Amino acid sequence: MALRRCWGLAGVAPRLLWNSTVLPGASVPGRPTSASNLINSHHGCKTTELQLRRFSSAPPSTDVSYEQMKQLLAGRKAVVIDVREPWELREYGFIPGSINVPLGQVNTAFQLGPDEFNEKYGGEMPQQTDNIVFTCLAGVRSKTALNTAASLGYKDVQHYLGGWQDWVKNEQQN
C-alpha cells in the first residue's frame, strides 16, 4: 500500500525495490526483515526513500559543519578538497589547507598516480582510506564530488554543507 502511494512520485523505483532480494533470515539494519513487514511498518513514501538510499554509494551521514571542519583542519584529520573553479578561489578566497580540484576533474584526478596528482594539484593525493571533506561555494558541487569519490571506492568521504559562504560568515564572527 505504501509503495502504491509513492508510485507516481518514484517512477520505476518501486519495481526495483520489489524485485530486490534479501536472503531469508538476513538482517538489514534499520529495515524490516520481510516484505510484509516492510509494507506494514512504514507509511507514505518514507519506505521508498529509505530503500533508495541503499542504491547510493555515499555513506549515510556525510555533512560536516563549520565546527567539525575547524576541528578536522586543526588536527589534520582530513584532506580538504575544494571543487570550485580556480578563478573562484582567486576572486573569493579559499579555506586554508584545502587542495583545489575542480569538480569536472574529480573523477580523473582521483585515478591519477600520487606524483601526477601532486604535480597537477599541488597537494598530496588522498588514499582511499583517508578522511576526505569536499567543499565548494554552498554545498551543491561538493555533494556531487562526494558521490564521485564514493563511486571510485573512497570510503570516508564527507562534504562541508555550507561551503565557502558558511566558512566566511563564521570566520567573520570569530
Catalytic site positions: 136
Assess contact for 81 and 173: CB atoms under 8 A: no
Locate 117 and state its grid cell.
Answer: 596528482
Residue 12 neighbours by CB under 8 Å, 6+ apart: none
CA triplet 28, 29, 30: central angle to 5 degrees?
115
Q: How many helices and strands, by DSSP H and E, does the chain display?
A: 10, 5
- Cα 105 from Cα 46, distance rounded (Å): 35
Q: Is 164 exposed, middle or buried (0-12, 13-18, 19+ CB in 10 A)?
A: buried
Assess contact for 149 and 101: CB atoms under 8 A: no
Q: What amino acid is encoded at 60 in this protein?
A: P
